[in-house]
Amino acid sequence: MSGSEMNVVRRSSPAAAGYDHHWFPYTPLPQRPVKPFGQAGLALSVIIDVRAAEWEDALPAVEVPGGRGQAPYPDYPRMSHREFGHRAGLFRLAGILRKAGVPWAAAVDVLTAEHYPRVLSLLQEEASEILAGGLSGSRAITSRMSEPEEEHYIAQTLERLECALGTRPQGWMSPQGSQSFRTPAILARHGVGYMADWANDEQPYAVTGADGQATGAGGLWSLPVSWELSDAASMFVRGVGPAAYVRAVLDAVDVLAEDSNRSPRTLCLHLHPWISGEPFRARAIRELVAQLASHPGVWWAPPGVIVERGRSAQR
C-alpha cells in the first residue's frame, strides 16, 4: 500500500476515544463535574494485603511475587518470604499504623481467614474494613476459567469469608489484580459494592457502561488503587529503596492535595506485610505514616467510605 493510500485509510477511519470493553466510558478527569465527595483535601486510604500463597507443584496462572521469583517446587525462598508477612510483618505494620492513629483496611483471602486464627483476630480487632481477596494469593481469576468456574470462585470466596468474619465483605480485591472480562458482572450479581483492581484514575467511579446503559454490573463501583506506589511495584519489583519510596509517596500526596482544591482526589496505598513489615523498611514506613498523619491536606477514610461519598456526590 502506498503512502497516499495509507493516508486515505487513516482519514476515513478516525480513531474514537474509548476502550475495547463496555464497562465504563472514557471520561477525562478535567471534564467531570466538580462535586466534593468528602471533606476538603485528599482522601487517603491504606489497604494491607493479607493473603497467603499455597505450596503448589504446578505453576499458577499468575506468578506470585516473593523470594527470588518463581522456582521449582518446593519453592522455599518464595514461600518462606511470603510467610514472613503472616508470622511477623503484619504485626509490625499494624503496630505502626495503630501508634499513628491511622485507619487501615485489609484485603484477606479465604486461606488466611480459615487457617490463621491469630491473624484473623487482629484484623477483626483493628482493621476498619475487610475486603474479599479471593480464595488464596496464588489462585488467580483468569479468562481460562469458564463462567461457571469463575462464578463458583467468587461465590465461594464471599460465602466462606462471611462465615469466618461474621459479616459479608462489600469490597473486592482480586489476587494480583486478576480478572476476566466477566468479573465485574459476576461481582455485582453477588452483591459486591466496589472493586479495587484498576489503577486508572484518581477518583472512584461507577461501572456504568460505555454508553451509559446497563452492563450487568448493577451498582458496582471501581476504587482506584495506586500500582506505582504499592510497595510491591516500587520496593520489591523495581528495587526502590525505603527512603526513596517515602519521598515518592509524599511527593504524590503534595500534588494530589493541591489538585484536590479544584476537584476531589483519592490515593489508596497498597502495602504488603512481607515487604513493608520487614525490619529494614519499618523505620521508613513509620516516618511515612507519621508525616501523612500530620499532613494538613489529607483526610483518612476506609475504602468503602470513599466509595460511598462518591456515590452520594453523583446523585
HEC sequence for 48-105: EEECCCCCCCCCCCCCCCCCCCCCCCCCHHHHHHHHHHHHHHHHHHHHHHHHHCCCCE
- For position 32, what pLDDT does the model report? 86
C-alpha cell at 261: 482544591
- For position 60, what pLDDT does the model report? 63
- For position 10, what pLDDT does the model report? 44
- For position 70, what pLDDT does the model report? 79
Question: What global pTM score does this model have?
Answer: 0.90
Max alpha carbon distance in the chain (Å)? 69
CA terminus-to-terminus distance, the chain: 52
- For position 148, what pLDDT does the model report? 97
- For position 136, what pLDDT does the model report? 95
By residue count, the chain amounts to 315
pLDDT tens-digit map of 27-77: 899 888 888 877 888 999 999 999 999 887 666 667 788 988 878 888 889
- For position 71, what pLDDT does the model report? 81
Helix (H) or strand (E) holding 133: none
**What's the CA angle centered on 69, arms 59 and 60, to 5 degrees?**
20
Beta strands 205-206 and 221-222, pairing class? antiparallel
Q: Are the beta carbons of 253 and 42 closer than 8 angstroms?
A: yes
Sequence ranges of the domains in the chain: 38-314
Task: Find out whether the peptide bond into 74 is cis, omega within 30 degrees of 0.
Answer: yes
- For position 274, what pLDDT does the model report? 97
Helix (H) or strand (E) holding 221: strand 221-222
Q: Are the beta carbons of 44 and 103 closer than 8 angstroms?
A: no
- For position 18, what pLDDT does the model report? 65
Q: How far, CA to CA in Å, does 131 sit from each of 109, 197, 217? A: 9, 12, 18
The segments of the chain whose pLDDT lies below 70 read 1-18, 20, 57-61, 209-218
Q: What is the CATH number of domain 38-314?
A: 3.20.20.370
- For position 8, what pLDDT does the model report? 40
- For position 167, what pLDDT does the model report? 97
